Structure 1
Amino acid sequence: MAKPLKIFIGYDSREDIAWRVCRHSIQRHASADIEVYAIRQDELRRRGLYTRPPDAATTEFSLTRFLTPHLADHDGWTIFADCDFLFTANITRVFDDLEPDKAVHVVKHDYEPVRATKMDGRKQTAYPCKNWSSFMLFDGAHPACRALTPQVVNSATPLFLHQFQWLPDKNLIGSLPLTWNFLEGEYPVPDAPPNAIHFTNGGPWFDECQDVAFADLWREEKALMEQVAA
């Protein structure tokens, strides 16, 4: 029997509802056996896996995401996604688009942010590989992923991690179609919903983001989740 696909979602205590709706959207559409986990910084600190001092990062999982291969602890593929995603399709379909012999696969965004500030009011910055790490597929058997140890995650600079400098060769990064990490507000709205909608500038769980594209789909997913829980 095939092992379940492990999926890790970044958890931020300020966006609990986003994490829960993201998880529900994955589980509702998945056709295969999956296991969905939250990457919670407080738990990782208790386990001694994350020891960096507190910082001013936008999210609590800004750097803990890179512990995904270590946490998965297997030779198969593992997925990481930010909590501000909404999935509208079977997540296992992402494996239809993989390139051979790659350590990690991402959507290779190349854009200048439309907004000058982030969802929390802080200055928006542009840098190489921006938002690449918000949705990643790790090959747990690849030596480059195995080398992404807690020691590296706890000592490397944020840019070293987010710009994939931990890879010996950038050619080890495979490319995924945009539909798997569609940045709402940064790209023209397509006719059909993308497979993975990323509310990178703030989603409809914030009062000021009620009218963003695909907000209706997010609210529908939230309602379905609440029906199941009732």
Structure 2
Amino acid sequence: MSPESEKTNNHVNVDDTKKPFRIYIGYDPKEDVAYEVCRYSILKRSSIPVEIIPIKQSELREKKYYWRERNNLESTEFSFTRFLTPMLAGYEGWAMFVDCDFLYLGDIKELFDLVDDKYAVMCVQHDYTPKETTKMDGVVQTVYPRKNWSSMVLYNCGHLKNKVLTPEIVNTESGKYLHRFSWLDDDEIGSVPFVWNFLVGHNRVVEGDVSTYPKAIHYTLGGPWFESWKDCEFGDLWLKELEEFEKVKKDGKVE
């Protein structure tokens, strides 16, 4: 990528939207279809160029970027690899990380338009304590402060504080340190409207209030790609997107 262009009034210059907006999606082999639908939903609705890169743990291990041993509290292969996003982006410009269990209903340009260079990261700052003890396919549900903040993050990759996120730190620091953004001061964490990380089973649509309708649905407890979650809230939207993706793929029109 070329050097980041000049900014005006903290916000990204309009010319930056001509460059592909880099989106790193967490990838887990057991949720391959979730990744494909997430990717398709972004590309389908985006009015700006985007570059989508899966974060695959196996590839990161081959490149010696990741060597951490997996523990039983990691529900996916990208529980920790997500924090390599700034490094993978060359510590340059803005990039986004998102879990694969998202379905995008809004244009990613609207989200990109929110970025502000005064912040090191921006995310939906959920106040979320799940009642369930398990999620997905029987994986243990963990509870901690700032839960789900790291599930979709806009990274100001060139911010000095984010250069702390080296492979060494990502492989050795605790989950507490990383998922709570402990390398940052609170005023370096910007806020994004909750509709961009709408937690199924937690957030609610208020009838008649369009500002509460999700722009990105997060099936954080489990999505319709798991048999036991076929009938979850908003599951019909995901299944419809899957059906469309499969048809487009069959017709050879998938990018």
- TM-score bin (small chain): over 0.9
- Measured after TM superposition, the shift of residue 114 of structure 1 is 3.0
Q: How many Å separate the matches in 2 of 1:211 and 1:190?
A: 21
In structure 1, what is the equivalent of residue 224 of structure 2?
A: 204
Query: Do residues 181 (structure 1) and 197 (structure 2) align?
Result: yes
> Sequence identity of aligned pairs in percent?
48
Q: 1:176 to 1:17 in 2, by over 3 A?
A: same
Corresponding position: 1:216 with 2:216: no
Show the 5 A alignment for 1:69-218.
69-167=86-184, 169-191=185-207, 193-218=213-238
Q: How many residues align?
A: 229
Is contact 1:8–1:80 with CA below 8 Å preserved after alignment?
A: yes
One-letter amino acid matched to 1:202: G
Match for residue 14 of structure 1? 30
2:31 & 2:65 partners in 1: Cα distance? Answer: 22
- 8 Å CA contact 1:8–1:81 kept in 2: the answer is yes
Is the contact made by 2:91 and 2:163 (CA closer than 8 Å) also made in structure 1?
no
Report Cα offsets for 1:115-164 as digits up to 9, x if no partner. Answer: 22222324323211100000000001210112211111011111110011
CA distance in 2, matches of 1:190, 1:210: 24
**Two-structure CA RMSD over aligned residues (Å):** 1.5
SS of structure 2 residue aligned to 1:35: strand
Which residue of 52, 59, 84 maps to 1:43?
59
Pair member with larger Rg: 2
Give structure 1 stretches of 5+ with no counterpart. Answer: none
CA contact (8 A) 1:202 1:209 kept: yes
C-alpha distance in structure 1 between counterparts of 2:203 and 2:49, whole Å: 32
8 Å CA contact 1:103, 1:172 repeated in 2:
yes
Runs of 4+, deviation exceeding 6 Å:
none
- Taking the aligned partners of 2:215 and 2:97, their CA distance within structure 1 comes to 15
Task: After TM superposition, give the deviation of residue 74 of structure 1 in Å.
Answer: 4.8
Please identify, of 40-49 and 108-117, the stretch whose mean Cα deviation from structure 2 is larger.
Answer: 108-117
| 1: CA distance, partners of 2:136 / 2:202 | 14
Partner Cα distance (1:96, 1:115) in 2: 35
Where structure 2 has 5 or more consecutive residues not aligned to the other structure, the ranges are 1-14, 251-255
Q: Deviations over 1:23-82 (max 9, x none)?
A: 000000111111001000000000000011232210000000000011111521100000
Specify whether residues 129 and 19 from structure 1 end up closer, same or farther in structure 2 by C-alpha distance, changes over 3 A only.
same
Provide the C-alpha distance between the structure 1 equivalents of 2:56 and 2:22, rounded to a whole number of angstroms. 16
Distance (whole Å) between structure 2 residues aligned to residue 181 and residue 3 of structure 1: 24
TM-score, length basis structure 2: 0.86
Secondary structure of 2:183's aligned partner: coil
SS, match of residue 82 in structure 2 = helix
